Amino acid sequence: MTDPEAGTLSGRHIVLGLSGGVACYKAAEFARALIKSGATVQVVMTEAACAFITPVTMQALSARPVVTSQWDARQPNNMAHIELSREADAIVVAPASADFIAQLAQGQAGELLALLCLARPAERVPLLVAPAMNREMWAHPATQRNVARIVADGARLLGPASGDQACGEIGDGRMLEAEELRDELIAHFQPKCLAGRRVLITAGPTFEAIDPVRGITNLSSGKMGFAIARAAAEAGAVVTLVAGPVHLPTPRGVARIDVRSAEQMLAAVLPLARSHDIFVATAAVADWRPAATSEHKIKKDGTGATPALAFVENPDILATVAHLPVAERPWCVGFAAESHDVVRHARDKRLRKGIPLIVANHGPSTFGRDDNALVLVDADGERELPRSDKLRLARALVAEIAARAPRAARTVA
């Protein structure tokens, strides 16, 4: 399977700073993840960081000599703090200890890493900081004041997470995992074409119960909808994801609501739709549900008789949202997963639902897979998005939606 993040950071040069902390082991994994995504990585370590992981390890992973001193004479002008900061597309400090955050807050520059953060051209070289410390240190008022200060000064905070800590305690202060840090950096560089807009997305199948153990569902994995949620959040949107029964991690920065049936999905979507600017109905909602659900498991009786099942039509979630009063209606995007005559059925569905854009695909060729091919169908015709991994397609689709959807009065500041 092709890595969807391969090449995402091509052409980006990242200065990766390590301050002291046991989380330095994650920095090694993070450096590797950045390079696999196409970035070049220059590692800068504090004296304390060298007590936790060796510069030799970081040099082997980054394929570049590690810099530890502001007096490093390998720079032609002997100004490592200037040269390293000017070459960078971003400076990421991971791990960032409480002491290092305090240095940033106070503008101190006793070591190279703090010095180059202070000397960076802030208008074009962002500073991203991944805290890593004991939960009590993180919660201390001095740390919280320092964090607020560096954020006010322009740094972007990555985390921290909550969980088991090296000291044996549990709580806030863990550094994000390597892949989470990589994804945060990738998101930072994505165009913010949906900044200030609220996006509501449905994803996955629905499950319509026949009895307590059986039901009607479909093969939708939810991967496309979750990819769109991540791409929309990367693009700066405030994203709410209403998910059917799937086993997928929630994209960072996305608010998730889990539902099971079509009726539950409608109940979740309808009140939210009125406060969102864009609605992307990716979910493969069951068209019908059993008219009645058995209280107990329906058992075979040995006679060969089959149970008689009656069905009723499920609510049409997309059409319901699309026909809200104009002042309450988000800009709607539908999905059409068809088994044949994909474009024709998509055209018909767009007109029937009364929406500006339908995204069509061949359902049997994509359910459960990590790649897809899409056709955008609107009033002007069709446009194909060729087969690719679902995250790249999601980013392309989000750009299309941003270009088409008008800015509504409900945009957020």
Q: Do domains 13-189 and 198-294+305-404 have the same CATH topology?
A: yes
What per-residue confidence (pLDDT) applies to 364? Answer: 58
- Taking all residues of the chain, what is their mean pLDDT, rounded to a whole number? 89
Residue 340 in this model has a pLDDT that exceeds 80: no
Q: Whose CA is closest to 278, among 390, 194, 378?
A: 194
- Interval 77-125: pLDDT, tens: 777 788 888 889 999 999 999 999 999 999 998 899 999 999 999 999 9
What per-residue confidence (pLDDT) applies to 413? Answer: 35
- Domain extent listing, the chain: 13-189, 198-294+305-404
Q: Which CATH number fits domain 13-189: 3.40.50.1950, 3.90.110.10, 3.40.50.300, 1.10.760.10?
A: 3.40.50.1950
Percent of all residues in the chain with a pLDDT value above 90, rounded to a whole number: 64
What per-residue confidence (pLDDT) applies to 189? Answer: 93
What per-residue confidence (pLDDT) applies to 1? Answer: 47
> pLDDT-based confidence at 40, cuts 50/70/90?
very high
- Interval 301-313: pLDDT, tens: 778 778 888 889 9
Cα distances from 290 to residues 134, 210, 310, in angstroms, run 53, 6, 6
Q: Please state which CATH class domain 198-294+305-404 belongs to.
A: alpha beta
Report the distance separating Cα 397 and Cα 213, nearest Å.
37
Q: What value does the mean pLDDT take over residues 222-247? A: 95
What per-residue confidence (pLDDT) applies to 412? Answer: 40
What per-residue confidence (pLDDT) applies to 411? Answer: 43
Q: What value does the mean pLDDT take over residues 216-225? A: 90
Which residues are identified as catalytic? Answer: 167
